[in-house]
Structure 1
Amino acid sequence: SDLVRRAMAKKKAAVMEKERQNFVYGNAQEGVKGCIANGLDEKTANHIYDEMIDFAKYAFNKSHAAAYAVVSYQTAYLKYYHPVEFMAALMTSVKDNVTKVSEYIMSCRQMGMKIMPPDINEGEGGFSVSDGAIRYGLSAIKSIGQSVVDEIVRERTEHGKFRSLEDFIDRMSGREVNKRTLESFIKSGAMDGLPGTRKQKCMVCGSMVDQKNKEKKNTMEGQMSLFDFAAEEDKKSFQITFPNVGEYSREEYLAYEKEMLGVYVSGHPLEEYIGTWEKNVTAKSSDFVVDEETGSAVVHDGAYVTIGGMITEKTVKTTRNNKMMAFLTVEDLAGSVEVLVFPKDYEKRRDMLIKDEKVFIRGRASVGDEPVGKLICEQIIPFSQVPRELWIQYADKDAYLAGEKELLDLLKTSDGNDTVIIYLGRERAKKVLPRNWNVRAGEALVTTLSEMLGEKNVKVVEKPLGKISS
């Protein structure tokens, strides 16, 4: 009985079917008489067991169901009437689970909510609300403990906001803030509200900390320096100034943010491809995470799925047969998933398996006892090879013939895999140019065509991946 109860609670259909034999026919070795031995006919016994299996698919006792209903109504109310506060609290509850945080950040953006980086002058330990947006929690920054956050909040509350990097170091040095934590704050964006770019602050923070520590040491020893005798206007020349180095590139900017926070906050390397990504994936990285309660993931073992994202890690290993295979980490907007590329596929597709390459990967899901499932690669399609059509509209055939030479001369300058389709408005006719006229419908070509023919007459249409061979 307890085996059946446990199988029902965990929704283990295979175990339930195995126990049907004991329930209906009994098991003498285990001392189970079974329904038939108790005078119940076989058909009725199986009917009862079928109802138990149906009940097990989603069964709660009444008190459990009532409690869930109350919580559901409360959370639905809060999410509808206080969505920003609700999502901030939700992310605080899972701040140590990067996959969940990434998933909720994506949900927030779909709901039109702005996610802001942590901020030493505005943020709290957990996720908070600031000017109608969600502020990332300070304690979620790598190498920043709760004690450091508490000290910052206390100092900020008692003596006002921090005015500059130097002011922060002056007030916080010796209070659990060192070069490492300072760099983490800068790279995560927590000091964006202070003068200077992230790159400038990173370059001088170490020198500033050393200078402040030296000044404090001299003060404690009763020593004085030339700086102490200088006039106020002259003291500025002794201060460390920001070098004229500008800001990190967008790639570096986001990479440091990901390193410090575990997620992208200011943007995402895939954000310009969201439309392409959503149209072609059949599973997200979060779908491979095994739920602790149900013991299963959204994708089931052996399912044929398509994922899409950026290759962030690649490890090549040699098999016992002296062949090469690869282990990839593919990151999408919801998190990351491991992909196994076996020797046969690795040899055919190794030129596509480059770090930072954006690809779609098709294959079989492998979901077992691990907390996160994997994907066995069968096909790789780079984002750049997703089929697209470049539609160019003319008012009528005469207008097309008048501008045909100019158009074809422009199309000759572009080489790619995208099909060109000419549409004639008055005739409602379309002409698909031969494959040798295929182009790369990138921003540069589309902009030039739009300037030449008008923006409303040029459109790029992405087609589903379909059965592309790689």
Structure 2
Amino acid sequence: MKAHFPEEFMAASMALDVAHTDKLAAFAKEVKAMGIPLLAPDINRSHANFTVERLEDGRLAIRYALAAIKGVGEKAMEAVVAAREKGGPFRSLSDFAHRVDPQLLNRRQIEQLAAAGAFDSLEPDRARVHAGAEAIMRLAQESAEARARGQSSLFGEEAGALAALRLPQVDPWSKRERLQQEQAAVGFYLSEHPLGAYAQALARFRVRSSAVLADPDAGLVEGQVIKLAGIIEGYNERRARQSGDRFGVLRLSDTDGGFELLVFREQLEVARLLVEKNVPILVEAELRRRNGDDEWRLQARSLTDLDDALARLGMRFKLRVVAPEAAEALARSLAQARDGRGVIEVVVPVDAEHEAVVELGRQFAVSPLLAGELARLPGVTAVWEA
């Protein structure tokens, strides 16, 4: 069946393990390798379990299950889908709140759905939906009470006496925050891995993918030192049985998978600081093998904040600015990034056909992290490495 109906087979396999995040992460990686699109959870498209969906170009894809989001519950998601099928797709967050049963949902479930991106088709600002979970539940409760009193219109909608949903005004999540929240809700990085934004920069450092660790044709030899980069997934410390010396085990991931790094002596304090900062890490690791063990053991030679390393590299970024209000916010952001060798250039429209390029300086701590922050500023429409 897998050979002839791969999408259906993989969707059914994932459905069997809908509550097991570690297995779903492995399935997601396999689906990606098979070239099958894995679509994000969507309150208007997803079902409680995994389903196969046909795309506009005719290809088949797997739609992520609502019940696979951590902490939401299968019965609650079945009830949400039932409400959608009864009354049609949810037209807005207010419509969602009016139609769902507040006895089957709670604030935490709404927050998890928002963090996973399930409400993106209704409100793309995940931070606002997450912060507004209490307001959504309050409106759902008010709607349920109105229905119980029989206060509904001829069309089944609540009377105008019910207040409209007002989401709180909060700062949108940065790209890194968005992905971290998504990873916490789903159990792994579903839409993209945070290191994806660093691809060009990592090539400059000649960083290798973790995939080489399992590649017998990669030409790796014991004692070789290689460069890797990763997002921190976990860290703990232990004591060696014989010496009693303390050492750390740092669990990292990149776009191709995960790996563990052993941290000894002088690198221990560096590891602790980096874990506390929760930043992407640039690693120089020595390859070791135990007798009879086919897997590589990685021992840290050096650990560096990846963004700090890039700030010293002297990258060049361009920003397209189309509104005057961007100037003040841009100045504030760049004032906090004046400790590097990077170049920032601003592209501004002169008229309908011409643009001007203005160099702001050559002393900025430029990195993909800063680029992501600048891209969020009002009036900035694009940021790219020059």
* TM-score of Structure 1 vs Structure 2, range by shorter chain: 0.5 to 0.7
Asked whether 1:200 is paired with 2:157, we answer: no
**How far is the alpha carbon of 1:359 from its aligned partner?**
1.7
Aligned residue among 280, 288, 302 for 2:207: 280
Aligned to 1:146: 74
Structure having the higher helix fraction is 1
Q: 1:142, 1:257 → 2: CA distance? A: 10
**How far is the alpha carbon of 1:343 from its aligned partner?**
1.9
Which piece of structure 1 moves more, 266-275 or 252-261? 266-275
Asked whether 1:167 is paired with 2:95, we answer: yes
Q: 1:166, 1:207 → 2: CA distance? A: 10
Q: 2:283, 2:32 → 1: CA distance? A: 19
TM-score (norm 2): 0.60
1:128-183 per-position Cα deviation (integer Å, ceiling 9, x unaligned): 32524542222211013332333233332232122222332332224522222222
Aligned to 2:30: 104
Asked whether 1:249 is paired with 2:174, we answer: yes
Q: 2:269, 2:139 → 1: CA distance? A: 55
Aligned to 2:232: 311
Q: Secondary structure at the match of 1:153?
A: helix
Aligned to 1:468: none
Q: 2:192, 2:165 → 1: CA distance? A: 31
Aligned sequence identity (%)? 21
Do the aligned partners of 1:88 and 1:129 also contact (CA within 8 Å) in 2? Answer: no
Do the aligned partners of 1:363 and 1:376 also contact (CA within 8 Å) in 2? Answer: yes
1:337-360 per-position Cα deviation (integer Å, ceiling 9, x unaligned): 332212244357766665223223
Q: 1:197, 1:373 → 2: CA distance? A: 42
Do the aligned partners of 2:285 and 2:302 also contact (CA within 8 Å) in 1? Answer: yes
Aligned residue among 120, 143, 154 for 2:43: 120
Distance 1:366 1:155, change over 3 A: farther
Q: 2:100, 2:219 → 1: CA distance? A: 48
Q: 2:221, 2:16 → 1: CA distance? A: 29
Do the aligned partners of 1:103 and 1:286 also contact (CA within 8 Å) in 2? Answer: no
Q: Secondary structure at the match of 2:132?
A: helix
Structure having the higher strand fraction is 2
Q: Secondary structure at the match of 2:43?
A: coil
Q: Secondary structure at the match of 1:359?
A: strand
Asked whether 1:261 is paired with 2:186, we answer: yes
Asked whether 1:333 is paired with 2:250, we answer: no
Do the aligned partners of 2:98 and 2:143 also contact (CA within 8 Å) in 1? Answer: no
Q: Secondary structure at the match of 1:284?
A: helix
Asked whether 1:362 is paired with 2:285, we answer: yes
Distance 1:302 1:86, change over 3 A: farther
Aligned to 2:114: 186
Structure 1 unpaired stretches of 5+ = 1-70, 225-230, 289-297, 391-412, 418-438, 445-458, 461-470
Do the aligned partners of 1:286 and 1:336 also contact (CA within 8 Å) in 2? Answer: no
Do the aligned partners of 2:97 and 2:136 also contact (CA within 8 Å) in 1? Answer: yes
Aligned to 1:32: none
Do the aligned partners of 1:300 and 1:365 also contact (CA within 8 Å) in 2? Answer: no
Q: 1:91, 1:334 → 2: CA distance? A: 20
TM-score (norm 1): 0.51
Structure with greater Cα Rg: 1
Letter in 2 for 1:103: K
Q: 1:379, 1:160 → 2: CA distance? A: 56
Q: Secondary structure at the match of 1:329?
A: strand
Letter in 1 for 2:76: V
Q: 1:203, 1:283 → 2: CA distance? A: 36
Letter in 1 for 2:43: I
1:392-437 per-position Cα deviation (integer Å, ceiling 9, x unaligned): xxxxxxxxxxxxxxxxxxxxx99669xxxxxxxxxxxxxxxxxxxx
Structure 2 unpaired stretches of 5+ = 152-157, 316-337, 343-363, 371-384
**How far is the alpha carbon of 1:305 from its aligned partner?**
7.4
Do the aligned partners of 1:89 and 1:128 also contact (CA within 8 Å) in 2? Answer: no
Aligned residue among 265, 271, 281 for 1:343: 265
Do the aligned partners of 1:314 and 1:326 also contact (CA within 8 Å) in 2? Answer: yes
Q: Secondary structure at the match of 1:267?
A: coil
Distance 1:342 1:104, change over 3 A: same
CA RMSD of aligned residues (A): 5.0
Q: 2:102, 2:263 → 1: CA distance? A: 50
Distance 1:379 1:127, change over 3 A: farther
1:94-142 per-position Cα deviation (integer Å, ceiling 9, x unaligned): 653144135236536xx4x654320121112115325245422222110
Q: 1:185, 1:442 → 2: CA distance? A: 31
**How far is the alpha carbon of 1:244 from its aligned partner?**
3.1
Letter in 1 for 2:30: Y
**How far is the alpha carbon of 1:274 from its aligned partner?**
3.3
Q: 2:10, 2:219 → 1: CA distance? A: 25
Distance 1:286 1:206, change over 3 A: farther
